[in-house]
Chain A
Amino acid sequence: MARFIVRRLFTMFLTMFIVSMLVFAIVEIAPGNVARNILGAYATPEQEKSMENQLGLDRPIIIRYISWLLGSDWQVSRRLGMPVKEIVISQGVVERYHQWWAVDENGDLVQWDVEGGKLIKLVRQPDGSVVQVLDDQSWKFDEDGNAYFWGLDTANRAALWMPGQEGTEYRLEYSGWIEAADSPVDYIPMSKGLLRGDAGISLRYKRPVSEVIGRRISNSLILAALAFSVSIPIAIVLGLIAGLNEGKPVDRLISLGGLITAASPDFATGILLIMIFGMWLKILPGATVFLSETAIFKDPRMLILPVLTASLVEIGYVLRITRSSVVEVMNSAYVRTAVLKGLSQRQVVLRHVLRNALMAPITVIMLHVNWFIGGLVVVESVFGFPGLGNFILNAALYKDVYAIEAGAMVLIALAVGTQLIADIIYSLINPRIRYA
């Protein structure tokens, strides 16, 4: 058993590793570059180039992949020759700022800036204020005698200043384009990397993705858990009823209903339910408006339609598998024997049919996790539910690359993890597959 779990864990990590490469490749290598998506269609090539430089998009793809996964702080720390540190400054309840500082030999937190060709060290004081110190002796010189300096700037980037060949930095502020002089020629954005819980800054929210995404994940898990616990018992009971009454009208009715609900696209089912319950009967909120991300607990009636929609597809699917499994078991020799030796219908069903007939649905539910999660994404978008699926969809529509990447990785990790757990549970129930 332990060997089985270890082997499955290993393949899971391998899969996730390849998945991370695929996600990164699809999102970042694909034509239509990230800088233009941020800047819009009217940016000049110089502005685009400057933006790419500032986001670190001009670095080699392998380096970018490693930085995305494992962070860039250790790379920067090596260039600077001193450790770097991330501090979080809280203002009020939700406003949080992340700042990167280097730690100099005195233990002070420092950043740098260049003004008029002079290098200025910004030293952070314990009370949060900043003292400027002229730091011109820190310039380093290459073989040709040109001065250069790698330091941290005030916008969470490692920057390379080279006096005499300043780049021009274009920044998009609320007031429009700002052209800054004395700018660094190269940048490395600071991050801790996905594996260390930092997925980069969302281009849309201007906040770390990891802070925006947490609430969304738990909302989605609640929706999934509700839908799952509603659909599976109903599906199994209906499947049993249909299977035990094979060929009778009740079986026909349940089977047809199962086929229709399983085949209908989730969004169509959702829209029909909104029309029926929200528009015509007016008994449930038709448009589920969530004003805040925690609102799902305030009005449980809002949850009814999303859960119902997500459940219906699953009910149809599991019901059909259960039914065919029950039919198969009912026609088996051991059930015939049980009937012939005089057991009551009840005893036959409870002791012989149930256990054997439920094996197939469990397998199928396990293989069905991805389909179920895909359905949840659609349901969330139909109802405007503040979950992970909706988050990824909006990120995809706005081309918020770091949010797409993080959301996709979390969703896939959840799917793969669920499958692993289901695998282990299944191998406990059915020892035969352990050695397959």
Chain B
Amino acid sequence: MSTASFQEDIARPKQPPQPVAPLPEQLGAARRFFAGLWKRVRDLIEIITASPTAVVGLIMVLFWVFVAVFAPLITTYSPLEQDYKAINQPPSAAHILGTDQLGRDVWSRLAYGARTILTLGPASVLVAFLLGIALGLPSGYYGGAIDETVMRILDALMAFPTILLYMIIISAVGPSHFNVVIAIAIGGAPGIARLVRALTMDIRTREYVAAAKLRGDSDFTIMVREILPNCRGPLIVDFLMRIGYAAFYIGTLGFLGLGLPPPTPDWGGMVQQGHNHMMANVWPVLSATLAIITLVIGLNMFADGVREESMRYQ
């Protein structure tokens, strides 16, 4: 995808022909923006539908997105409500997936747990990208001592097995929504920074960057307006991959007891607690395990399909 779209960008005139009726400057910019956005969305749809893997993955992900969005409508119980008269129930008409060791409805916890993982996952990847771009862009653009320093620190961070890094961060700052997002962002940022750095080192030699320098743009403007937009192809693919990893790690942290604090419906935590009560009732652990597997596999298949299809563009 990268080279093709870069060349396309070079070929495409920066200023589209002015419309006949003079529009206010702002409106023109907005229209251009939406036209560009629409083209991108269309490209993406084209890429996705070209790959059966991506379509299957997307369906699996959309199922959980649907469950998360409409959780209050498709569940009858609160995910936190405990019923001591009905603990460890197998599936029945009242509780379609049964109840857990505290008498909570498993389906409700699953549905609200989808909300947790589907908000924390993308949120942490977003933070990771902000961090990674903030480190990688100047590093690749300036090179030299800045680059050397940043890269040594990133090397050290990447020497940590990711789970280990999360474990010591969470144990130091304590488990909470915010801290899980920060931990996962810190774990992901070095990889993103390296990718951004490599792309930047490639793009900074282009003619349009030289042109921007010539017309006196500041370094910051050049990085944000010229270089970053031209990194987007590989970055989008990386973003999709990383949402899969983030879901993977949020589940794992929950399972290890380092995820979200207890009453929060969280799939990893459900698996851990269900594992302890497996002999009494297998349904809570089975449903949470299958939920996390289907979501993570769906996200991976989607990202994989998109990546392969976009590589075919080259």
Which residues of chain A have a CB within 8 Å of any CB of chain B? 11, 14-16, 18-19, 22-23, 26-27, 30-32, 259-260, 262-268, 271-272, 274-275, 279, 286, 370-371, 373-375, 377-378, 381-382, 392-393, 395-397, 399, 404, 408, 411-412, 415-416
Q: How far is the CA of A152 from the CA of B168 in the complex (A)?
A: 33
| Cβ contacts A to B, 12 pairs, < 8 Å | A18-B155, A19-B160, A30-B172, A31-B173, A32-B172, A264-B297, A265-B255, A271-B271, A271-B285, A275-B285, A378-B163, A381-B255
Of the candidates A264, A274, A378, which one forms a contact with B293 in the assembled complex, judged by CB atoms under 8 Å apart? A264
* A-side contacts of B152, CB under 8 Å: 14-15, 18
Return B288 CB to nearest CB of chain A, in Å: 9
Q: How far is the CA of A272 from the CA of B282 in the complex (A)?
A: 11
State whether A378 touches B255 (Cβ < 8 A): yes
Is B185 engaged at the interface, CB distance under 8 Å to the other chain? no
* A-side contacts of B188, CB under 8 Å: none
Is B159 engaged at the interface, CB distance under 8 Å to the other chain? yes
* B-side contacts of A415, CB under 8 Å: 159, 161
Q: Which residues of chain B in 127-173 are interfacial with respect to chain A, using CB atoms and an 8 Å cutoff?
A: 152-153, 155-164, 167-173
State whether B251 touches A267 (Cβ < 8 A): yes
Q: How far is the CA of A32 from the CA of B257 in the complex (A)?
A: 18
Return B284 CB to nearest CB of chain A, in Å: 11
* B-side contacts of A397, CB under 8 Å: 171, 257-258
* A-side contacts of B286, CB under 8 Å: 275
Of the candidates A22, A271, A377, which one forms a contact with B157 in the assembled complex, judged by CB atoms under 8 Å apart? A22
Q: How far is the CA of A375 from the CA of B255 in the complex (A)?
A: 13
Of the candidates B174, B285, B292, which one forms a contact with A265 in the assembled complex, judged by CB atoms under 8 Å apart? B292
Greatest chain B CB density within 10 A among A266, A271, A274, A377 is at A271
Of the candidates A19, A268, A381, which one forms a contact with B289 in the assembled complex, judged by CB atoms under 8 Å apart? A268
State whether B244 touches A263 (Cβ < 8 A): yes
Is B275 engaged at the interface, CB distance under 8 Å to the other chain? yes
How many contacting A-B pairs (Cβ < 8 A)? 137
Given contacts A275-B278, A377-B164, contact A396 B258 (CB under 8 A): yes
* A-side contacts of B300, CB under 8 Å: 259, 262-263
State whether B296 touches A264 (Cβ < 8 A): yes
Interface size bucket, B side? 35 or more
State whether A374 touches B168 (Cβ < 8 A): no
Using CB atoms, name the residue of chain B closest to A261: B297
State whether B297 touches A272 (Cβ < 8 A): no
State whether B252 touches A378 (Cβ < 8 A): yes
State whether A27 touches B172 (Cβ < 8 A): yes
Using CB atoms, name the residue of chain B closest to A271: B289
Return A309 CB to nearest CB of chain B, in Å: 13
Q: How far is the CA of A23 from the CA of B163 in the complex (A)?
A: 14
Given contacts A15-B155, A259-B300, contact A30 B164 (CB under 8 A): no
Q: How far is the CA of A182 from the CA of B50 in the complex (A)?
A: 80
Of the candidates A11, A14, A19, A392, which one forms a contact with B167 in the assembled complex, judged by CB atoms under 8 Å apart? A392
* B-side contacts of A274, CB under 8 Å: 275, 278
Is B268 engaged at the interface, CB distance under 8 Å to the other chain? yes
State whether A18 touches B275 (Cβ < 8 A): no
State whether B278 touches A399 (Cβ < 8 A): no
Return A380 CB to nearest CB of chain B, in Å: 10
- 6 smallest CB-CB distances across A and B, nearest first, come from A30-B172, A18-B156, A396-B171, A374-B163, A263-B300, A374-B161
State whether B293 touches A374 (Cβ < 8 A): no
Using CB atoms, name the residue of chain B closest to A405: B168
State whether A392 touches B164 (Cβ < 8 A): yes
